[in-house]
Amino acid sequence: MLGKHRTPRSDLDDLAVGRVGPCTARRLWAVERSRRMLMLRAVVESARQPLAGTPLPPAAALEVLLRVEEARPDVVADLLEHPGTGIWAVRTLKRLLSGEHPHATTPLWAEAGYLHCLAAAGALRAGVEGTIRLPVRGALLTLPTLGRFRLPATAADGPGAQSPDVVTLTAPHPGKGPAGLVVGGRRMSLPVDLREPSGAWEPSHRISWSPRPQDPPLVLEDGDPYRDFRGDLAQASTAGLAGAETRRWRRLLGEAGEVLHGRHPRAASLLTESLRVVVPLPTDSRFRTASASYNEAVGSALLSLPTDATELAVTLVHEARHSVLNALLHQLPLCEDDGPLHYAPWRGDPRPLSGLLHGTYAFAGVADFWRVERGALGGPPADLAHFEFAVWRDAVAGALEALLESSGLTDAGRLFVTRMAEETSAWHAEPVPGRPLALARSETADLRAVWRARHLRLPPDQVAVVADAWRCGAEPETARVVRPSLRPDPHSGTPDLRSELRRVLLADSGALEQRAVLGSTQDGRPETLAAADVDLLRGSADQAVRGYRDVLAKHPGSASAWAGLGLALAETGQPIAAHALLAHPELVRAVYEQTTAPHRATPDPVPLADWIGRTPAVRDAG
């Protein structure tokens, strides 16, 4: 299983443009298997002393796995590639090596006992006879890659007793009947065919998403306790999906597969070769699909179910690219992370260089998806696709420029990013219709302005000098230069609602007002801000200016209101004030807050923005 690995230059070139063929995929997965095998061995070695005498010594599970590997090495390979294996190994090693106990409700021996579950699943799949003890979480017994068994509360001795912490599984020789469980002195049987539900047995949901029968299915993982890397194990052990939810996932995954294979063959191939598991998250609103990935869970994507197959397809492409890049980074470092933080249009928080690289790679796939998809659509869906393409091609172009200007890329990283830049360079020559393009440019300016207002701060003493000059009526040409510094706001991760509202406007204009009110309620935004946003998007810019002024009088710290005011002023023919608010909102806000100190009259932010826009530092900086 272990061996030497190398990354050919051809793999780097192909991966940079999202091309993952079978040979490249085999090399990527070989590295993951070696990595996880090393972590597995580290768990066993680290656990020998602390878990000596506990119910589930890891060495016993390793013995079973070695027997399985002799009989069916492909089964062990599949277990190592299972994303839950990577998540479990990292968490368990952290507990073993640091002495920390982040999951107090789960004993360390039970946490390490997941290795026994892997071994049992391998024995059942390979037809290796034997007996092994397994941990139970609540009333659930998990067999990774196979499914889970629900233990009744009465399985333990005594009426109404709770399920035990440990059960014993006997894997029979092939052809000698079903596997058996001994639970609290009582024997129970697993079904002979573990692919089918039977009684308390719930098999993994394997969904044939691709129209090509030779492509492997995706597992809709709702049972493995290590499926979600973000929460604790108690949160991960939920009731699972209802039948109607599973059917909806199955239908939309199949439709997404048709979209990808029909119009996006490169993306479909990448998905086929890289993604194994989809972990469902709670559904949110139409344009707030949640998704996430983890560097030690290569092959897995967490995501909420969107409203349509197209949105699901592009989200799968996005997360598959993250998974591919995580796998590549396990072979080859592309950057160093000891440099400054960066602006990334797809995130509300400043990102390290590695985060910027990850997002750029993922959103290059998103932009390319919409670039192609817009040609197959008509009406509002086409307008929305044009908008998405225009937004993300600009975002990717800006991020690539920042990456290439950085000194933190390795030689391989510079080759990778340069190849990405070559692949995407022609996108700006592609035409986009007027209305989606105008909204996309507004979105781009909005995202940057909100980010600056949230995260850039200025020295108070220098701001006071500028504020005094403004109050005294000094000529703006005499104002001193004030340079901001990055001070990330930890509470600003939520995307601004206006981004979602632009998409609602294009897709379903009649739902704009309702979504604005509902979104503000969910996000805790002032209703007056929602009303001003609607006025801006409906073309009532003068009314929007008045609305944003009212919001700022009560909420001067609202980054969204400052950016919205800049956008509205641009529409009303006040370019100097608009430029100040969109390019340097942090300065306008800081001066405004200085001049609204106690016992002072609230100034009008528009003349203030116009005055700051005429200062040499703002006027000439662009």
The domain segmentation of the chain, as residue ranges, is 31-220, 236-428, 439-621
Contacts of 214 (CB under 8 A, 6+ apart): none
- Confirm if 198 and 191 have CB atoms less than 8 A apart: yes
Record the tokens describing residue 622, joined without a space: 């662009």
Record the tokens describing residue 192, joined without a space: 């002979």
- pLDDT of 237 reads 53
- pLDDT of 256 reads 98
Nearest partner of 57 among 132, 7, 131, judged by Cα: 132
- pLDDT of 598 reads 65
User: Which residues in 425-459 are b (16+ Cβ under 10 Å) and which e?
Assistant: eebeeeebeeebbebbebbbbbbbbbbbbbbbbbe
Strands laid side by side in the 205-207 sheet: 205-207, 218-220, 277-281, 300-304, 291-292
3-class SS letters over 391-413: HHHHHHHHHHHHHHHCCCECHHH
Strand partners, 342: 351
Residue 450 CA: distances (Å) to CA of 40, 423, 495, 571: 45, 30, 10, 18
Strand partners, 202: 148
- pLDDT of 54 reads 85
What does the alpha-carbon distance between residue 458 and residue 584 come to, in Å, rounded to a whole number? 11
Maximum Cα interatomic distance, the chain, rounded to a whole number of Å: 94
For the chain, the straight-line distance linking the first and the last C-alpha, in angstroms and rounded, comes to: 56
Backbone torsions φ then ψ of 614, nearest 5 degrees: -95, -5
| pTM for this predicted structure | 0.93
What does the alpha-carbon distance between residue 203 and residue 397 come to, in Å, rounded to a whole number? 45
- Confirm if 327 and 356 have CB atoms less than 8 A apart: no
- pLDDT of 519 reads 86
- pLDDT of 161 reads 39
Share of the chain above pLDDT 90, in %: 74
Record the tokens describing residue 252, joined without a space: 């939309």
Helix (H) or strand (E) holding 141: strand 140-143
Residues of the chain with pLDDT under 70: 1-3, 100-104, 153-164, 231-239, 493, 597-600, 622
